[in-house]
Amino acid sequence: MLLQHWINDCNIKHVCRPKDPVLPKRLIDLSATKNPGILKLDCSKDRSDSNYAALSHRWGDPNLHREFRLQKDNLSQWQRQLELKKLPKTFRDAVTITRMLGIRYLWIDSLCIVQNSIEDWRAECQKMEEVFSSAYVTLSATCSNGTSDGFLKPHPEEGPKARTYSPINVPTANGRSSRVYICNAIDDFKRDVEEAELSTRGWVFQERALSRRVLHFTDTQMYWECGKGVRCETMMRMYNRKSSFLSDPNFPESMASHYKGMRIIFFENIYEKYSQLSFTYWRDRAVALAGIERRLARVYATRARYGILDHSDRSYLRRSLLWQRAVSDAAPREQHSLPKIEFGAGQEVPSWSWMAVMGAIEYMPVPFDVVDWDASLKWVSESEKREELVGRAKDADGSGNIEGIIWDRPEESERENLRMVIVGTERTYGVGDVSKHYVIVVASIPGPSGVVWERVGVGAVVKEPGWIEGLTWIRVE
Say if 165 falls within a structural domain.
no
Helix (H, G, I), strand (E, B) or coil at 308: strand
Say if 183 falls within a structural domain.
no
Residue 332 is predicted with a pLDDT of 46
Say if 162 falls within a structural domain.
no
SS3 content of the chain, % helix, strand, coil (to 5): 30, 25, 40
Residue 334 is predicted with a pLDDT of 46
Residue where one domain finishes, among candidates 199, 221, 249: 249
Please tell me whether residues 241 and 261 are part of one structural domain. Answer: no
Full domain range(s) for residue 85: 2-155+188-249
Residue where one domain finishes, among candidates 180, 215, 249: 249
Helix (H, G, I), strand (E, B) or coil at 355: helix
Residue type at 177 in one-letter notation: S
Please give the tally of structural domains in the chain. 2
Please tell me whether residues 350 and 235 are part of one structural domain. Answer: no
- Say what angle helices 260-275 and 202-210 make with each other, to 10 degrees: 140
Answer whether 321's CB lies under 8 Å from 328's CB.
Answer: no
Please tell me whether residues 295 and 234 are part of one structural domain. Answer: no
Backbone angles phi, psi at 270, to 5 degrees: -60, -50
Give every CB contact of residue 135 below 8 A, 6+ residues apart in sequence.
Answer: 18, 21, 52, 53, 54, 107, 211, 212
Residue 396 is predicted with a pLDDT of 82
Please tell me whether residues 245 and 269 are part of one structural domain. Answer: no
Please tell me whether residues 196 and 294 are part of one structural domain. Answer: no
- Say what angle helices 202-210 and 290-300 make with each other, to 10 degrees: 50
Please tell me whether residues 235 and 272 are part of one structural domain. Answer: no
Residue 456 is predicted with a pLDDT of 95
Closest CA to 264 of 133, 364, 405: 364
Residue 379 CB-half CA count within 13 A: 24
Residue 335 is predicted with a pLDDT of 47
Say if 197 falls within a structural domain.
yes
Please tell me whether residues 328 and 209 are part of one structural domain. Answer: no
Torsion of CA 283, 284, 287, 291, to 10 degrees: -160
Please tell me whether residues 346 and 367 are part of one structural domain. Answer: yes
Say if 181 falls within a structural domain.
no
- Say what angle helices 260-275 and 290-300 make with each other, to 10 degrees: 180
Please tell me whether residues 260 and 245 are part of one structural domain. Answer: no
Residue 3 is predicted with a pLDDT of 86
Q: Residue 53: beta bridge partners?
A: 106, 137
Stretches where the chain sits below pLDDT 50 are: 330-335, 399-400
Residue 167 is predicted with a pLDDT of 74
Please tell me whether residues 461 and 326 are part of one structural domain. Answer: yes
Say if 168 falls within a structural domain.
no
CA distance 235 to 230: 10
Say if 173 falls within a structural domain.
no
Please tell me whether residues 307 and 210 are part of one structural domain. Answer: no
Q: Residue 133: beta bridge partners?
A: none
Say if 175 falls within a structural domain.
no
